[in-house]
Structure 1
Amino acid sequence: MPLIALDLDGTLVDQASAARAWSAGFVDEWRLPAGEVDVVATALTARRPKGEVFSEIIGRLGLPTAADDVWLDYRSRMPSLVTVTDEDRIALTELRAAGWTLGIVTNGMLDNQEGKIRRTCLDSLVDGWVVSDDVGVRKPAPAIFEALASRLGCALEGWMIGDSLELDVAGGAAVGLRTAWLDDGSDPTGYRPDLVVDSVAAAARAILDGQPSATPR
């Protein structure tokens, strides 16, 4: 059956809330001003390589620790902090029951991203996944989508569901996938997602119904 590729952070899992929870613990541990929780959490939700982000955070704050050590702590703790909604879990089950092949395509470090997938039991709800750290290429490069289709043994046709216009919508469209964008408030000018939705569950309903339930932008 055709493929539904899904982003992980900000799409299947609540990355923003998890990043804020980790940031609160980090600020408390180092006895930093309370306002740093927002600053650090915002930096961590930016779509950038986390190695760069942690180097900037530690350098700016002048903390007596290595950025790599803090990054490792973040990666080890995040799988226990992220959550998946019940509605999205049900939606994944319904999509697979309807015959769709489901795969997660995500940028990030293998230990962190696989930890999230397994800890939230998403591994039992999808057919497989690829992580940029493992395959050596990041979204929106076509090669990471091709790696997912190859790993799942299916054609690269179907849908890409994600919250990033640049990484998920543009990347998915470039390899011939239709795209469902989880509106995060970004300016969609220059991008043309096939669906604009507020959750994976909403995208699944539209796909299963065979007609858009949200207005394309």
Structure 2
Amino acid sequence: MTIRACVFDAYGTLFDVTAAARRAAGEPGQERLAEAWPRLAEIWRAKQLGYTWLRAVTGAHADFWQVTGEALDFALEAVGLHGDAVLRDRLMMLYRTLDPYPEVPAMLAALKRAGFATAILSNGAPEMLAAAVESAGIGDRLDDVLSVESVGVFKPHRSVYELVGARFGTTPRDVLFVSSNGWDAAAGAGYGFRTAWVNRAGDPMDRLPWRPETVLPDLSGIPDLAARL
């Protein structure tokens, strides 16, 4: 076995980032959101990621909770729902307890049984990640939760990926890094990780200098992949 640790991005990889808008849309009195939530979720996520990249390249760091709120403000205005403070607060609260993808608990348990170290490596602030992990009930299947807040810059900055080796004493080639973000999986490959891109939407490959080593439709194949590498 050459892989020693399996490390996962959190948002969009283990946790469904559309869940907050979808759940809120099903609540009483949210008829307008029920019509707009897919577009809201898409814009919210796109702006959330875009703001992390801009903050990283300009050195204007803020934690992911602030960035998530700023992205939500843009998305609410874009779909004509800005000014509703109650809805905004509800969406932010739901973002703290996003649904895990269905295969996540069993997949992590299989990795632990096979002897792999497991961890999250995320842009998320520590408090956000702790809430998501607790809500999903997967804390006992993770050896650590690593946040970019310890280095003060978002992915794909190299210092973020270096957190894994510092924690586990691994070389990059000892690590299977898994992300649903094509750019993140590619950047991880550029850093030297063995990488898997979880391409749930069937998106095309990002045009970057690096490519993820493996592409999977979901996380269920990760234990077998880790065992083969």
TM range (shorter): 0.7 to 0.9
2:122 pairs with one of 94, 106, 117: 106
Alpha-carbon distance, 1:105 to partner: 0.9
For 1:15 and 1:34, the matched residues in 2 are separated by: 17
Alpha-carbon distance, 1:201 to partner: 1.8
Q: Contact (CA 8 Å) 2:6, 2:226: kept in 1 or not?
A: no
- Correspondence 1:74 to 2:94: no
DSSP-derived class of the 1:32 partner: helix
- Correspondence 1:55 to 2:55: no
Aligned position for 1:205:
224
2:181 pairs with one of 155, 164, 170: 164
Give the gaps of 5 or more residues in structure 1.
Answer: 212-217
* Identity within the alignment, %: 22
With normalisation by structure 2, the TM-score equals: 0.74
For 1:174 and 1:198, the matched residues in 2 are separated by: 22
Q: Residue deviations 1:103-155, cap 9 Å, x none?
A: 10112333322211121122211110112345422111111121233234444
Aligned position for 1:186:
203
Aligned length: 204
DSSP-derived class of the 1:4 partner: strand
- Correspondence 1:22 to 2:24: yes
With normalisation by structure 1, the TM-score equals: 0.78
1:196 pairs with one of 212, 215, 218: 215
Q: Contact (CA 8 Å) 1:19, 1:41: kept in 2 or not?
A: yes
For 2:82 and 2:144, the matched residues in 1 are separated by: 39
Change (3 A) 1:70 1:153: farther
DSSP-derived class of the 1:92 partner: helix
DSSP-derived class of the 2:72 partner: helix
DSSP-derived class of the 1:181 partner: strand
Aligned position for 2:153:
137
DSSP-derived class of the 1:90 partner: helix
Change (3 A) 1:2 1:121: same
1 or 2 for the larger relative contact order (CA 8 Å, sep ≥6)? 2
Q: Residue deviations 1:61-113, cap 9 Å, x none?
A: 373356xx86654343234441342x432222222232222110112333322
Aligned position for 1:214:
none
Q: Aligned partner of 2:146: which letter?
A: V
Alpha-carbon distance, 1:34 to partner: 4.0
- Correspondence 1:5 to 2:7: yes
Q: Contact (CA 8 Å) 1:91, 1:205: kept in 2 or not?
A: no
Query: Aligned-residue CA RMSD in angstroms?
Result: 2.8
- Correspondence 1:146 to 2:148: no
Alpha-carbon distance, 1:187 to partner: 1.4
Change (3 A) 1:17 1:146: same
Change (3 A) 1:62 1:94: closer
